[in-house]
Structure 1
Amino acid sequence: MTATSPAPPRQLAPLNPIQQLKAGHLPRRLVQLYVGLTLYGASMGLMIQGNLGLDPWDVFHSGITKHLPLSFGTVVIAMSFVVLLAWIPLRQWPGLGTISNAIVIGLVTDLTLATVDRPDALWLRIVFMLSGVVVNALAGALYIGAQFGPGPRDGLMTGLVRRTGLSVRLVRTTLEVTVLVIGFLLGGVIGVGTVVYALSIGPLVHFLLPIFTVRLKEVDA
């Protein structure tokens, strides 16, 4: 019996939008992309209805809703396209996943808010918050692992890292602290859920992403 080398780890491929469509496993990847985006929007709705604090970007989004007559999902969609404008000087091209992210998540968040009532019992609000965090991590691993391009906000981070030469940790922390502070000043919802999300989302995605990253074939542009 001969020993065999372990399979190489699945990694995210640096593909342009055309290569993303030519890289194989298209039906599976499309299903995974849209299941992930749908779950992501649902997880945001759960955390909002739990009312125990949101992730930094959603604190920002919720703060905007305090001052404009717009639904939460509409703000998410609008800000996604505002962030995409910042991709222009970074010379980045959005993929199918990027544009889908900008639209689908906001629509599903509004649908969740319209169909799931906010509970009164504290224990149920905690369940909503914790479920939201876990589902959010699963959803992120699904849509990122489908390899159709980053979401607008993640792409802003990676683009700044590439252009500035700064570390991912520094750029991400700076972005998230900035939107968190602005969101708080606008009246966004900060609470224990914000802390739980900040501490757990990284380890959860780190564990789940390799499981759901689709191994792609090498393609030419």
Structure 2
Amino acid sequence: MKNNTKPSAIEENRQFSEMLKSAIEKLHKYTPEDITRRTNIEFDKEKSEFHFTSLGKEIHITYPDFNLTPELDMWYHLTILQYMDTADGTPLGNNLISLAEFKDGGVIRGTSFDRKCEFIIRQHLGNKPEEQVKKGCELLGGKIIKSKADLSAEFSILPNFPITVNIWFADDELDGSGKILLNSSAEHYLSVEAAGGISTLVLQELINTFSNKNVSLNIY
């Protein structure tokens, strides 16, 4: 019988500490130049730190201990370090894909994620005024782009890992809807699990730009 009990905060912190230690150990096998070449994350030799912009925030990563500032959600922190390990420098592709299109086990897990994202967007974003959502996107550094959606924004979450959010707003006949799309090179940078997690974070941060309370999403 499957145990669906959510882990306690203590257990979650223990898991995070173990995974963080493992992620840092993996990064110690690379030189800063190698990490920059594969990830497109810039390295400041004088300060001995990496830096890049993510969701409108300037992220700094010290070397060689790989501490991050500002303080981030623990899984956001871990995903950044995983990206620094798994990235292989593949150029961005010309197409967008859904998580269900990931070749690495994405069909079943990705399809479920895509459905849940559509529901979340309909519930929290598709019923809001378009200008309000557009402003929220821009506050997070989102670039408004042309598409068939009512509103489409591309977010720079990691240097070679943009995430596109497409939103169709509700009208008198139809409920709101939406999709999360990734660049076709995404599998060269994160696993399907990490891609789903970081996509969830984008939705969560966007919703919280105009929410009276912090919404915590756990859809992947």
Q: With structure 1 as the length reference, what TM-score do the two structures score?
A: 0.30
Greater fraction helix = 1
Greater fraction strand = 2
